[in-house]
Structure 1
Amino acid sequence: MSILLAFAPFIVFAAVDRLVGPTEGLVAGALTSLALLVRDWVSPGRTPKLLEIGTALLFGGMALYAVLGNPDWSIMAVRLRVDAGLLLIVLGTLAIGRPFTQQYAREKVPAAYWDSSSFRQTNTVITAVWALAFLVMVLADLVLLYMPDVHPRVGIIATVLALVGAIKFTGWYPERAKHPAPG
């Protein structure tokens, strides 16, 4: 469940963006990100996660630019930047060999398994699926940004299906990886 809470800044951003505007959404996302980081710093047994640090930097930087630079961004252009930033964060964790899901999994899996190839491989696969979901979101944003005749519902459906698919896969795959089908 804590992995889903890590996406709270994106949910807050999307809600505030839709109700009030993109700059306010970015500020709300930044404040939510900072609240999650503070929670991890002050809670015993918790540490800030790569995803949460990256999210705070993403929203904080974009909010600062939006407030000080007053860019002329459309809502879709802001969403594209946010989704692309999230994709880059996730790909970055894969590139450095520390899939973002691994930090969340360590909160539930005994330390004796952390160095196993199975644990590392499972987290790499799950993180790659999340990267794929975020890529789908970026592609949907691009379609809506550059093909204005496409109904916005297409982007919403693509986003929902990508996120639901990643969430379901995250719940299903660890057990599947533990007990592969006989072959």
Structure 2
Amino acid sequence: MTYVLTFLPWIVYAVLPSAHWQWAALAGLVVAVGVIVRQRAAGYRPDALIIECGSAVFFAALAALAFADPDSSLHPYSGALSSGVLALIAGVSLAIRRPFTLGIAKQSTPPQIWDHPVFVRTNTVVTALWTLAFAVTAAVLAVLAHAGQGHSTAATLVQIAGFVAPMLFTKRYVAAVQARSVPQ
């Protein structure tokens, strides 16, 4: 459920009609802020809200752009731009050695293993895969947008795959690491 909440602003933005992208961006912003408030009230630490905070900043900027210029030439590329921003956020979290999944994983893991090398390594691998998935999604969406298909069914399917594939990998990879870590 955590990943669904984390990416809920992006899901909302993706499913709202692209013809009204300014309202979709505003909805993404409202949802991002709502998720941050909800998660903070539930006791989530700021390091567990890296994507959420980045989402709020992105959607604030996108909403401002979209309302200022609804016919902006960036509109067809907004899907690619959003995935690119997610790749950037995830990549920066890796570069500063604070993988965004680490804070999320800490919410359901006892504090005594937070600094364990396997725990940190697992989250580094998972975040790296998310970063790669976002970057590939951004590239494919940019190609589709350049071909005039930025808001097509194909683009929607690419966006869905860009979230579902790393979610499935995360679940399976973490389960495999946990299975190997259990003493026999």
Counterpart in 1 of 2:68?
68
Cα RMSD between the aligned structures? 2.3
- Is 2:22 aligned against 1:23? yes
Which moves more between the two structures, 131-140 or 100-109? 131-140
Contact 1:17 1:23 in 2 (8 A): no
Residue in 2 that maps onto 1:37: 36
Q: 1:27 to 1:149 in 2, by over 3 A?
A: closer
User: In structure 1, what residue type is equivalent to 2:44?
Assistant: R
Structure 1: stretches of 5+ with no match in the other structure: none
Alpha-carbon distance in structure 2 between the residues aligned to 1:21 and 1:132? 29
- Residue of structure 2 in register with 1:135 after alignment: 135
- Name the CA shift for 1:162/1:40 in 2 (closer, same or farther; >3 Å): closer
TM-score by length of 1: 0.87
Distance 1:69 1:145 in 2: 18
Structure 1: distance between partners of 2:95 and 2:71: 31
8 Å contact from structure 2 (residues 77, 150) kept in 1: no
How far the C-alpha of 1:154 sits from its partner, in A, is: 3.6
Higher relative contact order (CA 8 A, sep 6+): 2
Supply the AA of the counterpart residue of 1:127: T
Runs of 5+ consecutive residues of structure 2 not aligned to the other structure? none
Contact preservation (8 Å) 2:13, 2:27 = yes
Q: Deviation digits for residues 74-129 of structure 1, max 9, x if unmatched? A: 64312122111111111111111111111110011111110011011000111111
Question: Which piece of structure 1 moves more, 152-161 or 100-109?
Answer: 152-161
Cα distance 1:62–1:159, how it changes in 2: closer, same or farther (>3 A)? closer
- For residue 59 of structure 1, report the CA deviation from its aligned partner: 0.7
SS at match of 2:73: coil
Aligned to 2:45: 47
Residue identity (%): 29
